Amino acid sequence: MRKLVIAIDGPSGAGKGTVARAIAAELGYRHVDSGAMYRAVGWKAIRDGVPLDHDQAVAALASRSPIHVTDEAVTIDGYDVTRAIRTPEIDRAAAAVARLPSVRAVLVDRQREFGADGGIVMEGRDIGTVVFPNADVKVYLDASPEERARRRASDPAHTGGPSAVSDVVTLLTARDELDRTRKASPLYAAPDAVVVDTTGKSVDEVVRDVLEVVRAKV
Ligand code: C5P
């Protein structure tokens, strides 16, 4: 059977990671979290003292830094940043560098290489709109801000953040606003994406819904 390209987009806390991982495992595909790449670049820019709004400088840093993303680990330039990139500071840094067009160009090229042979589930903000506009399957996951904040607040991978859900709602809504209103590749559902509202649904239910979308395309 032909190996598909599956794009999963949506705002933070919509459940993209959990769902994308489960779909990839079910189909025997590779799962790539494109957000981890923006996070790794944001982490390295801070470490190297590169201003987070300097498009050319951050893009140069990104293009000379190999990034590896698997379900187990994220590395940039050989540094294991798996834990270090899941902090509120890096939430902000990733969203800042993700606004920069040249940085996006560098990372989008790499994301396209990952998907060149198909057999991939890639999650992010612009996968169905920019990275793989011809993806075989496009899914846009969403959920209410409260539910997304609750999930983020209880995510053990995310460290050092405010634990009160109301604080997380504020931070998460601010970051979504940045992602939705930026000039370069803003977050929106591709016209041909299937929109799945995950509010009040279990992971299993959402995975089942998405697998149905995938099977309908095969
Ligand atoms: O998904 P995650 O929260 O880890 O992504 C971190 C940031 O990276 C997002 O806030 C967004 O600004 C950016 N991003 C992006 N395009 C993607 C994936 C993530 O702009 N495809």
Residue having the nearest C-alpha atom to atom 14 of ligand 1: 35
Pocket test for ligand 1, best of 6, 16, 38 (most atoms within 8 A of CB): 38
Q: What is the pLDDT of residue 104?
A: 98
Q: What is the pLDDT of residue 153?
A: 81
Per cent of the chain over pLDDT 70 is 97
Query: Which residues form the domain of 45?
Result: 5-201
Q: Which atom of ligand 1 is nearest to the CA of 179?
A: 12
CA of 21 to the centre of ligand 1 (A): 17
Cβ of 43 below 6 Å from ligand 1: no
Cβ of 111 below 6 Å from ligand 1: no
Number of domains comprising the chain: 1
Distance CA 212, CA 217 (A): 9
Q: Does residue 214 lie in a domain region? A: no
Distance CA 7, CA 108 (A): 13
Cβ of 176 below 6 Å from ligand 1: no
Q: Does residue 208 lie in a domain region? A: no
Cβ of 23 below 6 Å from ligand 1: no
Q: Which atom of ligand 1 is nearest to the CA of 91?
A: 6
Two structure tokens written together for 16: 């993209």
Per cent of the chain over pLDDT 90 is 81
Average pLDDT over residues 163-184: 87
Q: Does residue 213 lie in a domain region? A: no
Q: What is the pLDDT of residue 154?
A: 80
- Say if residue 159's pLDDT is above 80: no
CA of 1 to the centre of ligand 1 (A): 31
Q: What is the pLDDT of residue 160?
A: 67
Average pLDDT over residues 165-185: 89
Q: Does residue 211 lie in a domain region? A: no
Q: Does residue 122 lie in a domain region? A: yes
Categorize the per-residue pLDDT at 21 as very low, low, confident or very high, splitting at 50, 70 and 90: very high
Q: What is the pLDDT of residue 61?
A: 98
pLDDT tens sequence across 103-147: 999 999 999 999 999 999 999 999 999 999 999 999 999 999 999
- Say if residue 167's pLDDT is above 90: no
Instruction: Kindly tell me the burial class for residue 158, based on how many C-beta atoms sit within 10 Å of its own C-beta (0-12, 13-18, 19 or more).
Output: buried
Q: What is the pLDDT of residue 99?
A: 96
Categorize the per-residue pLDDT at 217 as very low, low, confident or very high, splitting at 50, 70 and 90: confident
Categorize the per-residue pLDDT at 162 as very low, low, confident or very high, splitting at 50, 70 and 90: low
Cross-strand bridge partners of residue 85: none
What CATH number should be reported for the domain holding residue 135?
3.40.50.300
Two structure tokens written together for 141: 């996951």
Crossing angle of helices 55-63 and 101-114, rounded to 10°: 30
SS (HEC) of the chain: CCCCEEEEECCCCCCHHHHHHHHHHHHCCEEEEHHHHHHHHHHHHHHHCCCCCCHHHHHHHHHCCCEEECCCCEEECCEECCCCCCCHHHHHHHHHHCCCHHHHHHHHHHHHHHCCCCCEEEEECCHHHHHCCCCCEEEEEECCHHHHHHHHHCCCCCCCCCCCHHHHHHHHHHHHHHHHHCCCCCCCCCCCCEEEECCCCCHHHHHHHHHHHHHHHC
Pocket test for ligand 1, best of 67, 125, 173 (most atoms within 8 A of CB): 125
Q: What is the pLDDT of residue 163?
A: 65
Q: Does residue 216 lie in a domain region? A: no
CA of 4 to the centre of ligand 1 (A): 23
SS (HEC) of 111-127: HHHHCCCCCEEEEECCH
Cβ of 35 below 6 Å from ligand 1: yes
- Say if residue 102's pLDDT is above 90: yes
Average pLDDT over residues 19-43: 97
Q: What is the pLDDT of residue 151?
A: 86
Residue having the nearest C-alpha atom to atom 10 of ligand 1: 95
- Say if residue 2's pLDDT is above 90: no
pTM, two decimals, is 0.95
Distance of CA 198 to the CA centre of its chain: 17
Mean pLDDT, the chain, rounded, equals 93
